[in-house]
Amino acid sequence: MHSFVRTILLASSALALPSAALAQGAAPATQTPSADMAPSASDAHDSGNDIIVTARRRAETAQEVPLAISVINAESIEATGNFNINKLQQLTPTLQVYSSNPRNTAVNIRGLGVPFGLTSDGFEQGVGIYVDDVYNSRVAAAVFDFLDVAQVEVLRGPQGTLYGKNTTAGAINITTNQPTFDFEGKAEVTVGNLDFKQAKAAVSGPLSDTLAARIAISSTSRRGTIYNVTTDRWINEQDNLGLRGQLLFKPNDGLSITLSGDYSRQDPECCGTVFVRTGLTQRALARQYEALAALQNYTVVSRKPFDRLTDVDAPLSAGNKIGGASLRVKWDVGPGTLTSVSAWRFWDWKPENDRDFTGLSIVSASNNPSQQDQYSQEFRYNYESDKIDFVVGAFGFKQRIDTQGFEQQGVNSSKWNLTGALANDPTVLAGLTARNTQYLKSTSAALFGQASWKVTDALTIQPGVRVNYDKKSGFYQRVVTTGQGAILTCPQPAGSIGAAQCGVFSPQLSAPSVSDWNFSYDLNVNYKIAPDILAYATYAKSFKTVGINQNGLPTDAAGNPIVSAGVIKPESVNHFEAGVKTQFWDRKATFNLTAFRTDIKNYQATVTNGQLGVLRGYLANAGKVRSQGVEADFSVRPSERFSAYANGAYTDAKYKKFVDAPCPPELAGGGTGTPPGPAGTPGANSPANCDISGQRLPGVSKWSFSYGAEVNAPVTLLAKDGEVYLGVDGNYRSSFSSNPSESIYTNVKGYALTNFRAGFRSGGFDVYGWVRNAFDTNYFELLQVAPSNVGLVAGQPGDPRTWGLTVKSDF
């Protein structure tokens, strides 16, 4: 049945593409309003720089929406080169995106969303990603090019009473360009250094008086930024292809039916790391990185990370396919509008990794391919009147993820991980293989609604409620075989070869299952102090639903799985927010200010141990987490010749209570006796866990800023009347922790990036040159601690200076 539904949906649809400007200023866009969507940001700039959004499931200006929201249109995304969610954080200071590969991608807002570290399928995303009202449960979509995007709205704070899937940290609402009943098209080609090539095209028009179609395509390729001397190849390249097709049936003004299909493929040689540094752990000195490398006559290719050289020896791949189909119906029924969104999505992940981060064959293979199917159905009814507006809805979601894990030890593993005579026998661990079979079944259903009571022309009270049911069940089986092909059982007698093998890969079987009901609500009160000044305050009682440990369970002293750790409690969220939105100087300037505080009880955190392959990571509940701060957005557009924006955020996100957290590397790897020794003391005892209460959450910068400006002047060039322009944009973020428990070895220094562009545009034609990271700033996107507590820290350098030329035209 499922395959039949997929075939019908996909066969009825076709193909898609990208584009984007901050609601707070930025360059004017030129796209045409679609047949059944709200006008884009660009179409309103002549009427006071108003930006039209659908954050509350109705068309209204961004300044009317009583919540913190950043709106980015297609022109700004294209002009600044931010063509996927991963790069979008350069425009929105409180958005954080971290990706060691497409699967292990975290999208957070204000430091909250998903735990930092290896991804587990058993928990929910805290930041919802929606494309044309369809919820995307896998953040792997973040690494793909935007497909024919009209606008992106980043909503900050809990979103559950207006959106299908409950989200505790925010939502990214992506709207694509829709089919039109007037013929239109656009094409864009970009070339740059690092063999960068990008091509985009879209065409839209009528097939009949009631049927319109739109087709779009995007292709991106770029040479890698790290050179692997082992394979004599550049790695961490870009290789993306995206297609989208849409059919719009509009028999009358009160009914529109849109059928969409999309497919995206990514097949780069990715994702490798470079040597960054070493730091002393509490493992015996002879078993730390420097000694072990010398023992095996191993010298890393470079100790200067921004030489961008590596020697990782395992095959690398980040094969990634994602796509699906949706059917959206909007029907004027009675005094309101009924919307139905039916969708199926798939995700196919085929990775190959080098988990030891070295040129030695310690981990010879680490591959965990996954396949996901998700089905969702949402119904909403919108009603608007002079005194009361409301939205009521129902949402259903079904998901299955299957994973086939394969991990294998190499010929250098014994010497790296064992002691005594066993360390000198490579056959003890060489070929030791763990095969994991696992699946997740997830079902969710919800009723939600939000009302707006216009008490007076100035005062509005807006309550919302949500009732949610979730059920999750999983299966995990790890079968371990020795290099000779024998099945390994654990535990084994102490000191034996089998015991050494069990210390690296241990078989396990678990099948956690749980269901849970949740009730959440919010209340917003907003008051229009003056025609262009809106003040608001919000309280939200929200949750992140119950989770399960899908990647295996921690074990007790006897090596048995701790069954009680299979289920993770829901997060309980209390959120407070207050803000003011203002426009002045005849609406040529906008200034918005927001203060927020979010308290979370039973925060779902990622816990990792230092052993090489026993358990890569699992979920556990931290006691309490708090994120609080202030956000400011300013833009000015005094004339058509100049525009500028500046956005900033202060975010204080920390663990308020986490007494049994995993220890950072400087306190790991030692003996189990008491008392524990000082941090970074080889041979000292290590605590079983650490109290990190008061420490900052990983991945969060206290200070972050983005800015941009553009100036233009009229000119006639090659008999064409147009304008020349010069633009600059940039962003800054202060230092952040790159480890679940803050470590002196993995703090990433703050950095600033600056981009320039200059060009000529006339009508629908635009040609411009650009330079990104113009000052060639050296910075890290992510630092990672190598397994086995050897003190090795590897990293992923950010892009160096890049430059290129873009030509685009509308027709």
Q: Strand, helix or coil at 232?
A: coil
CA distances from 242 to 302, 585, 614 (A): 36, 42, 38
**Amino acid sitting at position 69:** I
- Confidence band for 143, pLDDT divided at 50, 70 and 90: low
Quote the CA–CA distance of 764 and 786 in Å, as a whole number: 51
Question: What does the pLDDT read at residue 606?
Answer: 76
Please name which of 50, 56, 191 lies closest in space to residue 587, comparing C-alpha atoms: 50
- Do residues 185 and 214 touch, judged by C-beta distance below 8 A? no
Question: What does the pLDDT read at residue 552?
Answer: 80
- Do residues 470 and 446 touch, judged by C-beta distance below 8 A? no
Quote the CA–CA distance of 291 and 304 in Å, as a whole number: 19
Please name which of 154, 240, 253, 155 lies closest in space to residue 200, comparing C-alpha atoms: 240
- Give the chain's mean pLDDT: 89
pLDDT digits (tens, 9 = 90+) for 220-279: 999 999 999 999 999 999 999 999 999 999 999 999 999 999 999 999 999 999 999 999
Question: What does the pLDDT read at residue 672?
Answer: 84
Question: What does the pLDDT read at residue 560?
Answer: 77
Question: What does the pLDDT read at residue 41?
Answer: 31
CB atoms within 10 A of CB 574: 15
Quote the CA–CA distance of 261 and 778 in Å, as a whole number: 40
Give the CA angle between residues 650, 656, 657 to the nearest 5°: 155
Helices (H) and strands (E) in the chain, counts: 7, 44
Please name which of 770, 755, 648 lies closest in space to residue 701, comparing C-alpha atoms: 648
> What are the structural domains, with CATH classification, of the chain?
5-810 (2.40.170.20)
pLDDT digits (tens, 9 = 90+) for 616-626: 567 788 899 99
- Do residues 92 and 647 touch, judged by C-beta distance below 8 A? yes
Mean pLDDT for 722-728 is 97
- pLDDT > 70? residue 345: yes
CA distances from 181 to 34, 150, 206 (A): 8, 17, 5
What share of the chain has pLDDT > 70, as a percent?
92
Quote the CA–CA distance of 75 and 331 in Å, as a whole number: 31
Question: What does the pLDDT read at residue 616?
Answer: 52
Least reliable range by pLDDT among 2-6, 651-655, 751-755: 2-6
Residue whose structure tokens are 């493929």? 265
Helix (H) or strand (E) holding 467: strand 459-481
- Confidence band for 589, pLDDT divided at 50, 70 and 90: very high
- pLDDT > 70? residue 286: yes
- Asked if residue 491 has a cis previous peptide bond (ω within 30° of 0), the answer is yes
- Do residues 247 and 204 touch, judged by C-beta distance below 8 A? no
Quote the CA–CA distance of 380 and 159 in Å, as a whole number: 15
CB atoms within 10 A of CB 675: 7
- pLDDT > 90? residue 630: yes
- pLDDT > 90? residue 540: yes
- Do residues 616 and 603 touch, judged by C-beta distance below 8 A? no
pLDDT digits (tens, 9 = 90+) for 482-513: 999 999 999 899 999 999 999 899 899 999 99
Quote the CA–CA distance of 294 and 308 in Å, as a whole number: 23
Q: Is this model's pTM higher than 0.85 or not?
A: yes
Mean pLDDT for 385-412 is 95
